[in-house]
Amino acid sequence: MKRLIQRGLMFGNLFHVSSPALVERYNRALKHLTGKTTTLTDFHIDISGYAPEIGEELNDHLYLNHAGVNRQFILLSTDQKRCPLLGAKFSTSYTILREFFDTNEAQLFALTARDAVAGELVNSVYDISTPQRLFDIRSVQIEADTTQGTVQSANNLAKKVDRFLQEDDAWFDDVLIAEMIGLAGETGDVRRNPVRLNHMEFAQENFWTAHFGGLYIFQATDRQAAITSRSKEPLGDLPVTRTYDITERNRIAQFLDDCNLVEPIVKARGVDAAAILRQKMDFILIDAVAGTGVDLSNTTRRDMRRLAREHSSLVPEAYKALGQLVNWAEHGGSWPKIDSEHPAYFYTLRAADTSDKDLVNMLLAELCPQDIRQLFICHKELFYATYAGWSDSKKEYVADYLEREYQVDKAGARAALFGHEAAMDAAPGPWDRNDMIDRVGPWGAVRRR
């Protein structure tokens, strides 16, 4: 993993905690949440306050996420909102934390100027001993306060101020006035500078979880389903209509089609479909030839064509089919036959413009593991696990590519791959691509069983 770390592709963009004041605040929050402290004076934290170095020190990388449920967090600065979330057990956790930052940024800026904010992503489940327990998670709420209880004190002060203003004899209540003065010394003037974090609750209906080997759960779609990365038999009966394992490609394709969760890349507006497909071809080719000992450093487009010629016997069907699709998209060649069981099928798709597009792109990344760019962007946990088993030549190629092509413009790369533009009417050309797709593919090729 050293290549990834050196290039900022692993443990990158973390918040550096090095000043004694911040370390002391972190320890106070850590003690408040877990009863533990760190002896480290220099470490890096993610958006939730988790530090890999402290995980190593405590021999517990779930020290802020006991049993992988109800993740706790420590906020030292609003700069943490630009950090990644490491070791996510639920795909929704990062989005929830980021929205919490965005909604309460002014309040968090004021609170973290004097103290750490400690909190928890709370749901009704504290133990996921069986897969069925995952379906009891219906929503997630955020509870947060400083280690000194500033937010709670501000709420108490606001209530006492309201009582003071509304009750006729409050001017003569010495106890009430003394309590107000004491609380104001802790919180300041809450009438002019309210210290209040917005109550936030998030529905937990469609999500991925790392529990039980990886499980995609769709409960708020036209058809409910669970898709597991492992065998589905050990899961038992789940409270959804269908359960698939990742090898049931035809049935997964049918589910995605029925729920309108995906679209063909060649039909997407605002993207260079041919360029995206050609890059996927490169990744598939690299995977095919990586074990031959060929030098993959500084490969150009000409090098890729040469590798395909010299190792034609190793070139998989997915590569050839995508090449035919590129030819059709650019020159109007013959429409390639790519059904849902074809190894190239899911490489031709991306998530449709729905609220679940990130989750669907994550699933597609697992279905297309040779597309190392999408795998890195959409499913980092699986990327790191897969990367460990690659040859050194492929590791070097992938690390170099991601540093050179993705790191320099992350937002631009994501927009180019997954962005959506509003549809607009266009005059049909000599051959209407969208009409062809609607008539024969890719959904027309899904084999219904």
Identify the three-state secondary structure at position 117: strand
Q: Which residue from 72, 67, 68 is spatially nearest to 45, judged by alpha carbons?
A: 72
Q: Please spell the DSSP secondary structure of 251-281, one letter per residue.
A: HHHHHHHHTT-EEEGGG-TTS-HHHHHHHHH
Answer for the pair 279, 373: CB distance below 8 angstroms, yes or no. Answer: yes
Q: What average pLDDT does this structure show over 313-317?
A: 89
Answer for the pair 355, 346: CB distance below 8 angstroms, yes or no. Answer: no
Tell me, what's the pLDDT at 180?
A: 58
The residue to which tokens 């400690």 are assigned: 118
Give me the amino acid identity at 72.
Q
Give this prediction's pTM. Answer: 0.85
- With a cut of 90, say whether residue 94 has pLDDT above it: yes
Q: Which of 30-44, 181-195, 299-313 has the lowest mean pLDDT?
A: 181-195
- With a cut of 80, say whether residue 424 has pLDDT above it: no
Identify the three-state secondary structure at position 202: strand
CB crowding 26-35: b at 16 or more within 10 Å, else e: bbbbbebbbe
DSSP assignment letter at 146 = E
Q: pLDDT per residue over 215-232, tens digit each?
A: 999 999 989 999 999 999
Give me the amino acid identity at 267.
K
**What is the distance in angstroms between the CA of the first residue and the CA of the last residue of the chain?**
43
Q: pLDDT per residue over 375-409, tens digit each?
A: 999 999 999 999 999 988 899 999 999 998 888 88
Distances (CA, A) of 225 to 124, 228, 289, 291, 388: 22, 10, 37, 37, 31
160 pLDDT band, cuts 50/70/90, is low
What gap in Å lies between CA 111 and CA 129, rounded to an integer? 37
Q: Which of 99-103, 235-239, 301-305, 362-366 has the lowest mean pLDDT?
A: 301-305
Q: Which residue from 236, 240, 242 is spatially nearest to 212, judged by alpha carbons?
A: 236
Name the CA radius of gyration of the chain, rounded: 26
Give me the amino acid identity at 204.
Q
DSSP assignment letter at 426 = -
Rounded mean pLDDT of the chain?
86
Answer for the pair 372, 401: CB distance below 8 angstroms, yes or no. Answer: yes
Tell me, what's the pLDDT at 444?
A: 43
User: Between residues 3 and 185, which one has the greater pLDDT?
Assistant: 3
Tell me, what's the pLDDT at 425?
A: 46
